[in-house]
Amino acid sequence: MKPLLTLLLAAFTASAQTNSVMLSWLPCPSTNAAGTFIYGTMTLSDFSASSTPTNYVFKYDAGTNMVLVVSNLTYGLWYFTATAYCMGGTNESARDNIACWVVLPPPGQLTTRPN
């Protein structure tokens, strides 16, 4: 009962002014699925193999929506995944694919390394 998450880089848009990302996915085809949880973290190991995430920075209940804008992300590398759930938010599926996105600081705040 996975939500067929298609968090492809082509599905993302970002705004440097708001440090946000737009995530989109296909809904779970199961008639038992009531919605989708979206998880985000900055540590890939937080999303262990095929299990429901237990460590994460945020968890959004996207309900039956297929698009979510996550705002106010800190600068750095972010990882996202999703699970489908039954009515009441119970019986979560194993996590789906993991997608990543880099939130860069504004150009004036970029630093360089000396050679």
* Phi/psi of residue 67, nearest 5 degrees: -140, 140
Q: How far apart are CA 25 and CA 32, in angstroms?
A: 18
Residues 6+ positions from 45 with CB-CB distance below 8 Å:
none
pLDDT 10s per residue in the chain (115 long)?
A: 454 444 433 334 444 456 888 888 888 888 888 888 999 999 888 887 667 788 899 999 999 998 898 888 888 999 999 888 887 666 888 888 888 888 887 777 666 666 6
pTM confidence score = 0.77
| Domains of the chain from N-terminus onward | 9-108 (2.60.40.10)
